[in-house]
Chains A and B, each alone.
Chain A
């Protein structure tokens, strides 16, 4: 089994995604699962941004001294801008569902909620 050589940014992004996935799989509290979802999202955004990086170049704002050949790729940044907003929107929706769950069942434990319904 050869270990693949990847950049520390890719490694961090993968680690964040896996930590978030672990929280979603293992945790029983709904709020902790939502925290896991947010961490996963951060990992995906970090991965997108680090794919667009070109070493030694600056942000794609073409002011004096920074020409088109001295800027990083603007497309992943635009993608991440969209992804962050969508993440915030889904998190807000999920949190209000969590509020309703607590009001209806008096608990945020997914296993207990499943048992109460049946």
Chain B
């Protein structure tokens, strides 16, 4: 009890201190400095309508590269921590008929919607990470409904690596053409789709990079799910 009371008192002091600090930050007022520049120039500089994805992929592309690296390391780490020689699924009972039928009907639609999200990253809310998570959800559904289901490991792991390499390759082509890493060569050198802002075929390399990221995140999260749903077989 005394431990809890002490913890609550400490937390209240920390909370008061944080609230005091935040009292100087006005809520709901325009505090943009760099943000205004991004909003005003996003259309002619990147061709994207969605300012958030333009910031994520174009202006601050290195963040996304690091983010993809973190996710890759997490997936590798989960695989390394849960590594066993022989593994099998922990599930013992098949899902009900309603669940299995519903899953097999829903699966293509969920994958299609995930692909829609990451292909339209420069136009609508979303992008590579939400789209990839949606696709991983489709595979989680399969794992939940069927006892014996298993993702095709060979295909998935190769696809994951190839998508990551594709992202770096797009950046390196930018280095060769424009002089710096992740230079948007499709938009700024080729000028491809400049009459088309707000439609699908625009946005420079954002749709390409987001397609690669979406595939990578989808396969990675599916791999994490696969690793966590299996246990080692003890002889």
- Which residues of chain B are within 8 angstroms of A61 by Cβ–Cβ distance? 49-52, 123-125
The secondary-structure label for the interface of chain A is: helix
Chain A CB within 8 A of B77 CB:
yes
- Which residues of chain B are within 8 angstroms of A65 by Cβ–Cβ distance? none
In the complex, A92→B225 CA distance in Å? 9
In the complex, A57→B217 CA distance in Å? 31
**B71 engages A85 (CB within 8 Å):** yes
- Which B residues, 12 to 38, have Cβ-Cβ distances below 8 Å to chain A? 12, 14-16, 18-20, 22-23, 25, 27-32, 34-36, 38
**B22 engages A14 (CB within 8 Å):** yes
In the complex, A15→B8 CA distance in Å? 12
Chain B CB within 8 A of A105 CB:
no
Per-residue interface assignment for chain A, residues 1 to 16, with 1 indicating a CB less than 8 Å from any chain B CB and 0 otherwise: 0001111011100110
Tally A residues with Cβ within 8 Å of B.
49
Distance of B153 from chain A, by nearest CB (Å): 17
Chain B CB within 8 A of A54 CB:
yes
Taking a contact as CB atoms closer than 8 A, the residue among A5, A17, A74 that contacts B23 in the complex is A5
Most A CB atoms within 10 A — which of B7, B27, B29?
B27
**A75 engages B55 (CB within 8 Å):** yes
- Which residues of chain B are within 8 angstroms of A75 by Cβ–Cβ distance? 32, 34-35, 38, 55
**B74 engages A93 (CB within 8 Å):** yes
Tally B residues with Cβ within 8 Å of A.
61
- Which residues of chain B are within 8 angstroms of A11 by Cβ–Cβ distance? 19
Q: Which of B62-70, B98-106, B107-115, B169-177 is found at the contact surface with chain A?
A: B62-70
Cβ-closest 4 pairs across A and B: A55-B28, A89-B74, A7-B27, A4-B23
Known: A52-B31, A61-B125, A75-B55. 14 other contacts (CB 8 A): A4-B22, A5-B23, A14-B22, A18-B12, A54-B31, A54-B32, A61-B50, A73-B35, A75-B32, A81-B127, A82-B63, A82-B66, A92-B228, A93-B77
Interface residues of B (CB under 8 A from A): 3-4, 7-8, 10-12, 14-16, 18-20, 22-23, 25, 27-32, 34-36, 38-40, 42-43, 49-52, 54-56, 60, 63-64, 66-67, 70-71, 73-75, 77-78, 81-82, 123-125, 127, 129, 198, 217, 224, 227-228
